[in-house]
Amino acid sequence: MAARLSAPQILAGLRHAGWRWRQRLGLPGLVALALALAAALLLAAGLARLATLADEQARLQQALRSAGQPRPAPAPTAAGLAASQLERLPPLAQRPDDIAQLMAAMRTRGLQDMPTRYRVLEARSPGIERLEITLEGRQGYEAWRALIVDLLNRLPNAAISGASWARSEIESDQSEARLGIVLYHRRAP
């Protein structure tokens, strides 16, 4: 069983421990140890204050951001997304210009004498008008490929609905081709 120490005994023990440290480190060593302990205490207090300041700064910046900006817009609905996509399509009045661009691309590639069929497709979506153009003819594959590249680069509202090629002879440069193109336009509201 440990005996209880009195206050004078504790003080005597501390004096004795201090004397031993003084003997080992000397007076300059004790001063350096005291300064190191004081620096550690100041650093701990400074870090705690710095963390408090960082939290306060983040809170104030958040308050400034929320006060300076309008409230975020509500998430877009499916109808809103569809309307924004519909606005990206050219108006129906531009259809003749788009057909003229297609014909110019066909002339450039030597495909102007091909039989061409036009057909307005039934409306699947409100506000969208679709025109299917089918080209058929006998020409080299490169001319058809160049026409497709030209068309898709000039008309972002065009899509290829079908393409097929067939050669009657393997050595022949000519191929029987059929190309389906759909032009999408926005109807006036």
pTM for this one? 0.56
- How far lies 72's CA from each of 28, 65, 66, 163, in Å? 64, 12, 10, 46
Task: Calculate the average pLDDT of the chain.
Answer: 83
pLDDT (tens digit per residue) in 31-54: 887 888 888 888 888 878 878 877
pLDDT at 73 over 70: no
Mean pLDDT, rounded, for 148-176:
87
What pLDDT was estimated at residue 155?
92
Domain covering 85-186, topology: Alpha-Beta Plaits (3.30.70)
Task: Report how far residue 122's alpha carbon sits from residue 15's, in angstroms, rounded to the nearest whole number.
Answer: 103
What pLDDT was estimated at residue 150?
92
What pLDDT was estimated at residue 75?
73
What pLDDT was estimated at residue 122?
84
Boundaries of every domain in the chain: 7-70, 85-186
Residue in 112, 113, 131 with CA at minimum distance from that of residue 123: 131
What pLDDT was estimated at residue 189?
67
Query: What percentage of the chain has pLDDT greater than the value 90?
Result: 25
Candidate ranges 43-57, 118-132, 142-156; pick with highest mean pLDDT:
142-156
